[in-house]
Structure 1
Amino acid sequence: MGVLTEGTALSWNEIVPICQVYRSYALSQLVKIFEKCRDYQGDSFLWGDELEFTLVHFDHSKKRVQLLLKAHEILPRLVETNKENHDDTPSIAWHPETCDFMIEGVPCEPYGFLPSYLNTVEANMTLRRKQAQEILSEQSDCEYIINMSAFPRYGQGQFIYSSAHDDLQEVTEQSIHYPDRLISPIHPRMKSSIVNSLARSQGPPLVHIPIFRDTSTPSPFQDLSFKGTKDFRDDHIHLDSILAGWGCCCLQVTFQAQSLTECLQVYDQLLPLTGIMLALSNACPIWRGYLTDIDSRYEVLFQTGDDRTPDERQRSTLNSRCSPAPFYLCDEHNHLNDISLDVDENVVSTLTKHGYLFSFDINIFYFVYETGMPSSLAHHFGHLFVRDPLVVIKESLHLEDDTSSYHFDNLNSTVWNSLRFKPPPLDDDKMGWRVEFRPMDIQITDFENASLSVFMALLTRVILTYGLDLTIPISQANENIVRAHHRDSVRHEKFYFRVGGDDGESSLMTINEIMNGNDKFAGLIPLVEKYLNESENINSDTRLTVGYYLSLMSKRAAGILLTDASWIRQFVMSHPAYKQDSVVSDEIQYDLMWKITQIANGHDTCPLLIQNRMKTNTHLNPE
């Protein structure tokens, strides 16, 4: 969710005059971080995951399911539950999200390096849902916490569970479909980031999503609620609110490296995988009650998170605040940064030249050693610092605490790239250099989410152990993300992937070839299997569990098992109430969401998503 600090959020008009001052504070803190932590050495490689959940209410008599605006009620209870936890049950950190139907759950302690931690991930994910479900069930047997990346009829009809539906148009965005009451009331950051983004961009977003054309879909299809607006397009769904994107849920995985050098290496090798893992995790084929021609939330995030002014949008050198990772960070990969982007050269100069200068008098020779930041990393931050702060808390503006990195962390956390490079905070000596892997849609089941998370964790170990080099030009990595959105991209698209050695050649490959291998590349899953076979101290339960996870990934890549998006699309198109017109009605949504709830809670099965024999024996604590 980002940095949450109590206080009064400044308006955009109040922020504009202090933008440069704020950035100077943030830069000063970044310099201090680098001076203090550049030589940080951790004991082991740590990692963790973040899950964003959706709260819903079922009305079984009317066959209706709606979003439940109750996060502000249950979050204090969840926080208190984990404060009172004194047994061996792992504690969970619960956080608010932008919308009041969303909550985020994160393990309080990171997973360790030992293989046995891999067998705790799924159990921990189940624990998180169980904690929230127990509180919801105290008041109603119709309220559920679910894993859903995008609520199918979000923004359409009476999609909010409430006793009144007469205030659908309110003042923050003047949206046709997304009312203010969706915004979480828990912290001023939530509403402030929306209001200030709108003010900076000089108007609300208008997102265009291509309709899925079925046999009875009107031609041209017209989203009549936007007919007559200047950006209206035939054959597209229109979304007119930041909340349309920020109301989506995702799975994020964060890795803490043992050193800065190792962290930069992990970042650069994960960057080419953002599009690949986005395709494998696709879970969003329905938008505002229509089947569309995209399968992921990420393009919607790109557009709704765009706070650029009209003039800035005319430039190709400044992307949306939510966009693919802009740069490789290691100097040896700088030649692959083939897209020109805006950079604050003063920031780059400060970071590269700042450091300790030592001169040694050896007879008449003088040697000056400069220990500033590596150039590529400095350019990454130079690009970050062209952004204005979106949220400024009045009481925290003029911090004089040398141990705080609040301003930098706040600026860094309001740029939502597919990867986030996270330096250690100044006030926590246990925290190291981290990489946050951000593209994946959340999956329906804990098993799927654990499979994706554990696969990524194992892949980082393969990268570090074998010195794997997956880097391709940034332009190709960006193109992969574009292709990943396309309908059924796992089975029908090809993606740029590195197949050469030192020459760094890339070619177009299917997801199946990338994951399972071909005659030019061993495949990511066989490389992970090789690593596991060479590893010691992996117990039988863990090996069995990981084997099931890799089997899911392998079969999904091969098209034997479906992505969540493909399964959802298939469910809708085979529903008896579906009229082949691309419309997902309340009844279809109800049956879909109830099926998902039953599958997630183990009361139903879905062989097209997860084969029935994939039953893991996971534990809350490593054994």
Structure 2
Amino acid sequence: MGLLSQGSPLSWEETQRHAEHVRRHGILQFLHIYRAVAERQKDVLKWGDEVEYMLVAFDHEHKKVRLSLTGEEVLYTLQEKGERVNPNHPTLWRPEYGSYMIEGTPGQPYGGTMSEFNTVQDNMRKRRQEAASVLKEDEALCTVTSFPRLGCPGFTLPECEPTPVEGGASKSLFFPDEAINKHPRFSTLTRNIRHRRGEKVVINVPIFKDKNTPSPLIETFPKDDGEAAKAAKPDHIYMDAMGFGMGNCCLQVTFQACSISEARCLYDQLAPICPIVMALSAAAPFYRGYVSDIDCRWGVISASVDDRTREERGLEPLKNNHYRISKSRYDSIDSYLSECGEKYNDIDLTIDKEIYEHLVKEGIDHLLAQHIAHLFIRDPLTLFEEKIHLDDANESDHFENIQSTNWQTMRFKPPPPNSDIGWRVEFRPMEVQLTDFENSAYVVFVVLLTRVILSYKLDFLIPLSKVDENMKVAQKRDAVRQGMFYFRKDICKGGNAVVDGCGPAQNGKETDAEEYTLMSIDTIINGKDGVFPGLIPILNSYLENMEVDVDTRCTILNYLKLIKKRASGELMTVARWMREFIANHPDYKQDSVITDEMNYSLIRKCNQIAQEKAECPELLGVGFKKIKHSGNKTSSF
């Protein structure tokens, strides 16, 4: 969760007064970093994952499950027993937005050898066991993307009432401030997004229309001052707080590149992959006690932090603001960074022209300058009194203030000042999965893809407007089986004999419009004769050409098998499995409503699967067992 400064948070009015100061010095800090490390080469591949977890408390007697607001205490205990005792502890724990959430990462980054893939699931399992060991009886650590009854009455333990009156951080009708992490960053972010926007955030998710779902579905809200009635749409699930987005869980991967140019290449090449992997990892079909008609959290979280004013959203003429801004600050990227990507930058890019000209004058190239100048059209959302005046040559808090609150599908990350960390790229669209095996599979798939992109010089670039269209399709219900996605037909620049079925365009005269076509996820991942070679076959080809020990090869093939079968529809996504679980629950009345008992049954089953106490062939295949390493033997499914 981005920058976590300590100190005294300023009010929105005070923060706004310092906005230009933060932007100006943020740019100076970026320039100091750039001058120091722009020519840096030969950093080794390092990478790491971030898994977000929810803490839940089961009430078996009353068949309820609630979110346990003990995240801060659990985090403190884990840190005291781990990194504060041993700097080389294998796991690290960090706070997240919800007071029922924590985030776990490996204690040290993974390295560049293939054998590192063998340790990913073991480390994730260590994290789960470590956190579970400090929980109370009937509490559990869950990797569920969205808690189905988040925002319903009594969804927290202890039970807390929402605070819709002025003075509350979110003023939500549904989400109590006690469910927000107590670190001042989080409540300040929540309050300042609302203040900057001039009203509460508005999230409307289409309801899944089942046999007995009211049509139209129109809710009334007690304690509403009229804002909710005006904002809520018929046949939609209405939500009104940052917690409905940032209170969800995700899975992210960060890579260190060997140079700035390699980082820019990976940033671009992975951007078209984002909607594909998001659809593949879909795990969020339920919101505020209802079955929705979407499978992914992305649009929900985007709306939950949308601080744009009515002017910036184009609803009123520009008067007090500088720009019309087409997207929330949590959305897909708006420009490629490499020269290869420049011709595909077909989205109108809103930039701060003064910042752009300053950067260009200081020697920053056009593509990187416009990227930074686009990020810096945003205001800082939090500022701490102790962090206003900084040493720009040795600190980067003002740069990170803006950078870390542009939550996009990809993030381009300059090295911190005076560190041995290199240029990095963060891959951000994945939904967290129920089991350590699944999460490991998705992480390894993406990491392996980066190696293949660089080794085979693959080219996935298509116009960014098409990537945006793919992002919309990816969130739809059952997009893996039903959706069609724009994807590049010839991904091998000039052909690559190593990749079967990959070759140059006929006569080398392919036009832009012919470079890409609509494909299914199955075709993109698994390939289709005469259409596309498939990412899994390309990864298999790469493995065959690498010296990989048997143990590692078996581990990777297990992971790729899961991805392959999810893409083909042979195995369900988590979202589809959850839908079927609720649809088949004896209490479900085909009215799109998820009751306490149905939620209890679902989360309990999720926990049993995650703890490997229950098999789930629909998700994991028949006879799935955890991967164990013993010599060269690896179990498979």
Place the TM-score, normalised by the shorter chain, in its bin: over 0.9
Q: How far apart, in 2, do the equivalents of 1:397 and 1:318 lie?
A: 30
Which residue pairs with 1:530 in the alignment? 541
How far 1:262 moved relative to its partner?
0.6
Give yes or no for contact 1:328–1:337 (8 Å, CA) kept in 2.
Answer: yes
**How far apart, in 2, do the equivalents of 1:18 and 1:593 lie?**
45
> What secondary structure does 2:589 align onto?
coil
Distance 1:42 1:192 in 2: 40
Aligned to 1:360: none
1:220 to 212, 216, 228: 216
Contact 1:316 1:341 in 2 (8 A): no
The one-character-per-residue Cα deviations of 1:484-523 (angstroms, maximum 9, x if unpaired) are 1100000001000000357451100000000001122110
> Residues of 1 paired with 2:305 and 2:623: CA distance?
41
Q: How many residues align?
A: 598
Q: 1:17: Cα distance to partner?
A: 1.6
Instruction: Tell me the alpha carbon deviations over residues 512-551 of structure 1, each in whole angstroms, 9 at most, x when there is no partner.
Output: 0000011221100111111111111x22221111111000
Summarize the Cα distance change of 1:85–1:91 in structure 2 as closer, same or farther, 3 Å threshold: farther
C-alpha distance in 2 between matches for 1:178 and 1:580: 26
Percent of matched pairs sharing the same residue: 42
CA 1:43 to 1:420, structure 2 compared with 1: closer, same or farther past 3 Å? closer
Q: AA paired with 1:345?
A: K
One-letter amino acid matched to 1:492: Q
Within-5 A mapping of 1:186-225:
187-225=183-221
In structure 2, C-alpha distance between the alignment counterparts of 1:165 and 1:381, rounded to whole Å: 41
Which runs of 5 or more structure 2 residues have no equivalent in the other structure?
315-322, 491-503
Contact 1:419–1:438 under 8 Å retained in 2: yes
1:420 aligns with 2:419: no
Does residue 301 of the first structure (1) align with residue 301 of the second (2)?
yes
- What's the CA shift string for 1:28-56, capped at 9, x where partnerless? 01011110111112342111100010000
Q: Match for residue 174 of structure 2?
A: 177
Q: What residue number does 2:429 align with?
A: 439
Q: Which residue of 1 aligns with 2:396?
A: 405
Q: In the alignment, what sits opposite 2:340?
A: 332
Secondary structure of the residue that 1:72 maps to in structure 2? helix
Partner of 1:367: none
Counterpart of 1:154, as a letter, is: L
Question: How far apart are residue 318 of structure 1 and its match?
Answer: 3.5
Give, in angstroms, the shift of residue 374 of structure 1. 2.3
Q: Which of 551, 555, 559 does residue 561 from structure 2 map onto? A: 551
TM-score, normalised to structure 1, is 0.93
- Choose which of 464, 468, 480 in structure 2 pairs with 1:490: 480
Bigger drift between 596-605 and 12-21 goes to 12-21
CA contact (8 A) 2:162 2:172 kept: no
Letter in 1 for 2:527: G
Q: Provide the rounded CA distance (Å) in 2 between the counterparts of 1:207 and 1:417.
A: 18
8 Å contact 1:115–1:542 — kept in the other structure?
Answer: yes
Q: Distance in 1 between matches of 2:24 and 2:160?
A: 46
Partner in structure 2 of residue 234 of structure 1: 234
CA contact (8 A) 1:57 1:143 kept: yes
- SS for the counterpart of 2:461 is coil
Candidates 379, 386, 405, aligned match of 1:388: 379
2:261 equivalent in structure 1:
261
CA distance in 1, matches of 2:619, 2:13: 49
Equivalent residue number for residue 19 of structure 1: 19
Would the aligned equivalents of 1:545 and 1:618 in 2 still touch at CA under 8 Å?
no
Alpha-carbon displacement from aligned partner over 1:79-128 (angstroms, at most 9, x marks no partner): 112136659x8522211111100101111211111001011111111111
For residues 43 and 343 of structure 1, do their structure 2 counterparts lie closer, same or farther at Cα, with a shift above 3 Å needed? closer
Give the partner amino acid of 2:375: L
Letter in 1 for 2:61: S
Provide Cα deviations, 1:183-206, integer angstroms capped at 9, x if missing partner: 111x21111111111110011112
Paired residues of 1:541 and 1:618 also in contact (CA < 8 A): no
Partner SS state of residue 360, structure 2: helix
Letter of the 1:177 counterpart: F
Unaligned 5+ segments in structure 1 are 355-371
Q: Residues 211 and 601 (structure 1 numbering): CA distance in 2 closer, same or farther, change over 3 Å?
A: same
Q: Is the 8 A contact 2:90 2:107 kept in 1?
A: yes
Query: Aligned partners of 2:153, 2:277: CA distance in 1, in Å?
Result: 33
1:583-609 deviation digits (Å, cap 9, x = unpaired): 111111000000000000010010000
The amino acid across from 1:533 in the alignment is E
Question: What letter is aligned with 1:269?
Answer: Q
Q: 1:439 to 1:166 in 2, by over 3 A?
A: closer
2:156 to 145, 160, 184: 160
Q: 2:196, 2:186 → 1: CA distance?
A: 16
Q: Name the SS of the counterpart of 1:615 in structure 2.
A: coil
Distance 1:234 1:481 in 2: 24
Name the counterpart of 2:52: 52
Q: In 1, Cα distance between the equivalents of 2:531 and 2:399?
A: 43
Q: What corresponds to 1:476 in structure 2?
A: 466
Q: For residue 573 of structure 1, what is the aligned residue in structure 2?
A: 583
Is residue 599 of structure 1 aligned with residue 590 of structure 2? no
Confirm or deny: 8 A CA contact 1:152 1:288 kept in the other structure.
Answer: yes
Partners of 1:28 and 1:251 lie apart in 2 by: 32
The 2-side partners of 1:410 and 1:572 are apart by 41
Q: Which residue of 2 aligns with 1:147?
A: 143
**Partner amino acid for 2:558?**
Y
Letter of the 2:143 counterpart: N
Measured in 1, the distance between the counterparts of 2:213 and 2:143 equals: 29
Please report how far the alpha carbon of residue 304 of structure 1 lies from its aligned counterpart in structure 2 after TM superposition. Answer: 0.8
Aligned-residue CA RMSD in angstroms?
1.9
The verdict on how the C-alpha distance between 1:384 and 1:43 changes in structure 2, with shifts beyond 3 A counting, is: closer
Deviation at 1:616, TM superposition (A): 4.6
Q: 1:58 to 1:17 in 2, by over 3 A?
A: same
Report the counterpart of residue 551 of structure 2 in structure 1: 541
- TM-score, length basis structure 2: 0.91
Corresponding letter in the other structure for 1:257? A
